[in-house]
């Protein structure tokens, strides 16, 4: 087949997201790019999208993305000379419960930090914004002045016009039917001929799985049926709009799960119903070869409750006649967030697909995707959307179950201690039956079920009880007892799912020392290592155990498996070997002042006098184990690493030996409390590319004597000019709630930082926040305030070090 075109980047898919990617690639200076669309632009989900453009999100990164979209769309038409219907109407988001109002206050605080003024309205204020709404049973509302709606086709065409003006190329009616990697670039087969591209982007929308299959990639997704209803003109609404000169704000009744938008002089009603319906999910309902500009048949029966509720909420809707029903496919990932970033395991390939809210996210997604391709990293940490957060175990049934769960709870509050029930028990540890019998209440970590806490007789273990922002949930007393056991005696935490990579080969040590900011441990030793990007930002944290002169075991978070493996593989020097041993091992943390006595009683064949940060091969109950003398809980302790087939025997021996010593199982909630007291950072919370290594307070892990390591130049420049903000520990006046992620830190009337982790420290008896604070205020004793659900709470900056056992005497014991 003859070559039809060549380009630096080929974007596959011509919806709003794909065209935005092309536009932003060209804007970044990569004008030699091509977009390939199997039909017309907008033929997929973009064609039937409602076109809402909210900025609201409980995710910091997704709020950033949506905020950028709204800003872009305001000036896009004028910038490219293409007329667009973009109505910035504002929105009211109704709340029926106190918990919902807390969510609104949290999001309003995040929005304020990002430069947006979102208001909390009382029921008595609501009719001033939306005169036709019934307010008798409401607790309040969130008003977002930046919300609105846009014509999706016009948006896409405006982006396409801008991309073409900058030199990018768009080929319609040009489906990609095959892909071949040459070792240097991609060759894509199309009916018009071959397209050769250095990079490819899957922007296939609800066809992303079919596009991904061309590259050997199984995309974790499913497709939902979503309906919205268009109602005809209502004279009273037309008269009101004429008098005031604008449309009604978009109304979202999130606790009843629908939006209601003024459409011309009628309404657009869009419910997210539960139960809901998946499409193309069974063998008797296969994905059609082409579904361009097509819809599903109307299916209104399952929407009856939502329609009736909307009419009761806005009685004006009862006067409208139903004009049209739109029922189209919308793709979902298992967590409802899109896929933006590197295509796992595939060279020079990226994803910008599976958007549930593609119109409001398209602008920001194009920016993020272009940064990934052209710079290798993004301005904002985008882990919430990174394709590598799914590691390959998510099968079809799981994707369907989770997609339906997300859709049916589209507007649900995401509480900090709540674990969603669908698609569970996909990955369990070798001693899951034992921990379950002890009362473990589980939550998934990269699919692995880990104990969150251990319920005692009489504790409320219902899912409903988890739906609270309050610290004192039904787990609180149990977690306090678990922390006390770790402090006073000994605790054991079953921790399946660690990501583990074995690095070996001549030159492995020299290569690894150039990848990390600090020093390598000696043989028989281990330590923390930080990987920076070229801008000096925190990419990841790994425990590095030196197994030999040129052999290392790298251990990292469960969810980091593909992220960290991809980073290592992308930079791996020729001749070195990197193997993924994540599935080959299990682990328990045994920690507390009596941990050594428990191991001795279990007959451990090991040198238990070896110091902190050492490791050794050993035996327990006659089974081989690998003991690492570390503890994320900040007490004397070991990680006991075993092969899964040996884990039950080792667990049973340790539990039996520990009983006389007060050994108690503990869960992830307790571990989080214990690690915050030690100032230990959590990946993709306290540790992310939103912060540099120096901002993260990790200078002790930087070896400035090394002539070369990744990020050194950027970190040296930052050190010379001074670090603008850096890691801090706060003791916060205790209230009913712990500060949620990205709670704002204030000094007077100025925003001076943010909280990245917070929780109750049971050993020190205080509410502790870890975060980032402006450097001139970051000194012990400084008084600041933390905004907790809209209320500013006094806090005091602590000395740079752990609040618990600041000299690590208990760890070294």
Distances (CA, A) of 775 to 586, 691, 728: 41, 14, 9
What is residue 3's predicted lDDT score, i.e. its pLDDT? 82
Asked if 651 and 598 touch (Cβ cutoff 8 Å), the reply is no
Per-residue confidence band for 712, with pLDDT thresholds at 50, 70 and 90: very high
- State the average pLDDT over residues 64-75: 97
Quote the CA–CA distance of 713 and 688 in Å, as a whole number. 19
Residues 294, 446: Cα–Cα separation, whole Å = 36
Helix and strand numbers (H, E) in the chain are 19, 38
**Residue in the structure block whose two tokens are 């997604």:** 365
Instruction: Using only the alpha carbons of the chain, give its radius of gyration.
Output: 27
Strand-strand pairing, 499-504 and 551-556 = antiparallel
**Contact yes or no for 733/795 (Cβ under 8 A):** yes
Q: How far apart are CA 98 and CA 432, in angstroms?
A: 36
Q: What is the mean pLDDT of residues 140-164?
A: 97
Residue 2's pLDDT band (boundaries 50, 70, 90)?
Answer: confident
Band of residue 697 on the pLDDT scale cut at 50, 70, 90? very high
User: DSSP string of 1-24?
Assistant: --EEEEEEEEEE--SHHHHHHHHH
Please report the pLDDT score of residue 569 as a whole number: 97
pTM recorded for the entire structure: 0.97
**CA-CA distances (angstroms) from residue 763 to 589, 674, 767, 780, 807?**
18, 8, 11, 21, 15
Q: How far apart are CA 789 and CA 163, in angstroms?
A: 42
Alpha helices in 186-245 (DSSP H): 208-213, 235-244
H helices within 466-594, ranges in order? 476-488, 508-515, 561-571
The pair phi, psi for residue 572, each rounded to 5°, is -60, 135
Count CB neighbours of 191 within 10 A: 12
Q: Cα–Cα distance between 388 and 392 in angstroms, integer?
A: 9
The upper half-sphere exposure of residue 54, i.e. CA atoms within 13 Å in the direction of its Cβ, equals 23
Of 179, 222, 225, nearest to 202 by C-alpha is 179
How large is the angle between the packed helices 358-375 and 16-27, nearest 10 degrees? 40
Contact 813, 796 (CB under 8 A): no
Helix then strand then coil, in percent of the chain rounded to 5, is 30, 30, 40
Q: What is the pLDDT of residues 529-551, one digit of tens each?
A: 999 999 999 999 999 999 999 99
CA 128 vs CA 113, 123, 135, 601: distances in Å: 26, 10, 12, 71
Contact 20, 364 (CB under 8 A): no
CB 702 within 8 A of CB 714: no
* Whether the Cβ atoms of residue 150 and residue 86 lie closer than 8 Å to each other: yes
Q: What is the pLDDT of residue 290?
A: 93
Tokens 């921790």, located at residue: 495
DSSP state of 254: T
pLDDT at 335 over 90: yes
Q: Categorize the per-residue pLDDT at 673 as very low, low, confident or very high, splitting at 50, 70 and 90.
A: very high
Please report the DSSP string for 74-106 in residue order: HHHHHHHT----EE---EEEEE-SHHHHHHHHH
Half-sphere exposure of 326 (CA within 13 A, CB side): 19
CA distance 429 to 434: 10
Left if phi > 0, otherwise alpha if psi is -120 to 50, otherwise beta: which for 517? Answer: alpha
Q: Is the backbone of residue 191 left (phi > 0), alpha (psi -120 to 50) or beta?
A: alpha
* Mean pLDDT on 84-110: 97
Q: Which tens digits make up the pLDDT trace of 499-534?
A: 999 999 999 999 999 999 999 999 999 999 999 999
Are β-strands 526-532 and 538-548 bridged in parallel, bridged antiparallel, or unpaired? antiparallel
Q: Is 242 helix (H, G, I), strand (E, B) or coil?
A: helix
User: What are the backbone dihedrals phi and psi of residue 516, each rounded to the nearest 5 degrees, phi first?
Assistant: -110, 160
Quote the CA–CA distance of 749 and 776 in Å, as a whole number: 16
CA dihedral 471, 472, 475, 480 (to 10 degrees): 90
Whether residue 271 has a cis bond before it, omega within 30° of 0: no
CB 793 within 8 A of CB 775: no
Q: Are 768 and 762 in contact (CB under 8 A)?
A: no
Task: Report the C-alpha gap between 273 and 409 in whole angstroms.
Answer: 8
**Does 112 have pLDDT greater than 90?**
yes
What is the C-alpha separation between 322 and 298, in angstroms, rounded? Answer: 12
Per-residue burial over 141-157, b if 16 or more Cβ lie within 10 Å, else e, is bbbbbbbbbbbbbbbbb
The pLDDT of residue 1 is above 80: no
pLDDT at 632: 94
Q: Element (H or E) spanning 586, and its range?
A: strand 586-591
- Strands (E) located in 413-524: 440-445, 448-454, 490-494, 499-504
Hey, is 794 helix, strand or coil?
strand
Closest Cα partner for 290 from 406, 441, 396, 175? Answer: 175
- 98 confidence band (pLDDT: 50, 70, 90): very high
In whole numbers, what is the pLDDT of the chain averaged over residues? 97
> Residues with Cβ < 8 Å from 108, sequence gap 6 or more?
118, 119, 120, 142, 790
Please write down the long-range contacts of 756-759, taking CB distance under 8 Å and 24 or more positions apart. 756/682, 756/685, 756/686, 757/672, 757/676, 757/681, 757/682, 757/685, 757/686, 758/676, 758/732, 759/672, 759/673, 759/676
């Amino acid at each position: 087949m003859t070559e039809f075109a060549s380009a630096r980047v080929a974007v596959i898919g011509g919806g709003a997201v794909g065209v935005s990617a092309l536009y932003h690639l060209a804007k970044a200076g990569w004008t030699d790019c091509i977009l390939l669309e199997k039909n017309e632009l907008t033929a997929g989900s973009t064609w039937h999208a409602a076109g809402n453009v909210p900025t609201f999100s409980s995710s910091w990164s997704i709020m950033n993305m949506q905020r950028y979209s709204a800003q872009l769309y305001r000036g896009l038409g004028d910038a490219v000379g293409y007329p667009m219907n973009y109505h910035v109407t504002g929105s009211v988001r109704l709340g029926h419960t106190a918990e919902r109002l807390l969510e609104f206050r949290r999001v309003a605080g995040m929005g304020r930090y990002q430069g947006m003024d979102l208001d909390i309205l009382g029921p008595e204020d609501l009719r001033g914004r939306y005169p036709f709404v019934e307010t008798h049973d409401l607790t309040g509302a969130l008003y977002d002045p930046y919300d609105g709606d846009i014509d999706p086709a016009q948006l896409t065409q405006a982006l396409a016009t801008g991309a073409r003006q900058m030199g990018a190329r768009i080929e319609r009616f040009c489906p990609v039917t095959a892909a071949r990697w040459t070792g240097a670039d991609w060759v894509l087969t199309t009916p018009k001929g071959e397209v050769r591209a250095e990079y490819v982007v899957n922007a296939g929308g609800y066809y992303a799985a079919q596009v991904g299959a061309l590259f050997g990639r199984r995309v974790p997704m499913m497709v939902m049926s979503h309906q919205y209803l268009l109602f005809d003109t209502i004279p009273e609404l037309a008269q009101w709009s004429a008098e005031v000169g604008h449309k009604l704000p978009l109304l979202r009744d999130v606790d009843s799960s629908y939006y209601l938008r003024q459409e011309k002089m009628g309404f657009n009603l869009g419910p997210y119903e539960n139960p809901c319906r998946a499409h193309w999910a069974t063998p008797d309902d296969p994905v059609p070869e082409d579904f361009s500009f097509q819809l599903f048949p109307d299916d209104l029966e399952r929407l009856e409750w939502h329609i009736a509720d909307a009419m009761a909420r806005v009685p004006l809707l009862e006067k409208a006649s139903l004009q049209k029903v739109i029922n189209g496919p919308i793709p979902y990932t298992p967590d409802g967030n899109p896929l933006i970033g590197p295509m796992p395991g595939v060279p020079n390939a990226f994803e910008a697909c599976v958007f549930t809210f593609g119109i409001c996210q398209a602008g920001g997604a194009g920016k993020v995707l272009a940064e990934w391709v052209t710079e290798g990293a993004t301005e904002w940490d985008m882990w919430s959307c990174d394709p590598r957060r799914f590691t390959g175990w998510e099968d079809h049934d799981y994707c369907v179950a989770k997609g339906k769960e997300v859709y049916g709870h589209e507007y649900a509050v995401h509480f900090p201690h709540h674990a969603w029930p669908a698609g569970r028990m996909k990955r369990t540890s070798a001693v899951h039956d034992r921990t379950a019998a002890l009362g473990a209440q589980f939550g998934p970590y990269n699919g692995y079920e880990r104990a969150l806490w251990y319920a005692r007789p009489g504790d409320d273990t219902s899912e409903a009880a988890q739906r609270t922002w309050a610290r004192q949930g039904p787990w609180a007393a149990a977690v306090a007892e678990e922390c006390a056991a770790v402090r006073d005696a000994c605790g054991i935490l079953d921790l399946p799912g660690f990501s583990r990579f074995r690095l070996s080969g001549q030159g492995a040590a020299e290569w690894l020392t150039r990848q990390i900011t600090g020093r390598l441990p000696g043989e028989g030793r281990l330590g923390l290592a930080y990987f920076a990007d070229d801008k000096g930002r925190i990419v990841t944290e790994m425990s590095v155990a030196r197994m030999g002169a040129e052999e290392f075991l790298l251990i990292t978070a469960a969810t980091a498996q593909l992220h960290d493996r991809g980073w290592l593989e992308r930079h791996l020097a020729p001749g070195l070997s990197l193997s993924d041993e994540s599935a080959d091992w299990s682990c328990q943390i045994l920690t507390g002042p009596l941990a050594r006595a428990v191991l001795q009683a279990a007959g451990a064949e090991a040198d238990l006098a070896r110091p902190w940060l050492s490791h050794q091969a050993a035996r327990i109950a006659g089974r081989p184990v690998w003991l690492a003398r570390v503890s994320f809980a900040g007490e004397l302790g070991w990680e006991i690493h075993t092969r899964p087939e040996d884990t039950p025997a080792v667990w049973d021996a340790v539990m039996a030996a520990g009983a006389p010593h007060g050994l108690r199982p503990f869960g992830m909630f307790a571990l989080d409390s214990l690690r915050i007291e030690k100032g230990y950072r959590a990946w993709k919370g306290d540790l992310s590319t939103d912060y540099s290594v120096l901002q993260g307070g990790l200078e002790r892990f930087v070896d400035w004597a090394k002539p070369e390591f990744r990020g050194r130049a950027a970190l040296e420049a930052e050190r010379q000019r001074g670090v603008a903000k850096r890691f801090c520990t706060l003791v916060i006046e205790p209230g009913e709630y712990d500060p949620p992620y990205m709670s704002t830190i204030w000094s007077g009337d100025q925003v001076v930082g943010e909280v990245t982790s917070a929780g109750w420290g049971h050993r020190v008896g205080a509410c502790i926040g870890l975060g980032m604070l402006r450097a001139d205020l970051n000194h012990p004793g400084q008084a600041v305030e933390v905004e907790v659900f809209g209320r500013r709470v006094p806090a005091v900056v602590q000395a740079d070090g752990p609040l618990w056992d600041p000299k690590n005497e208990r760890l070294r014991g």
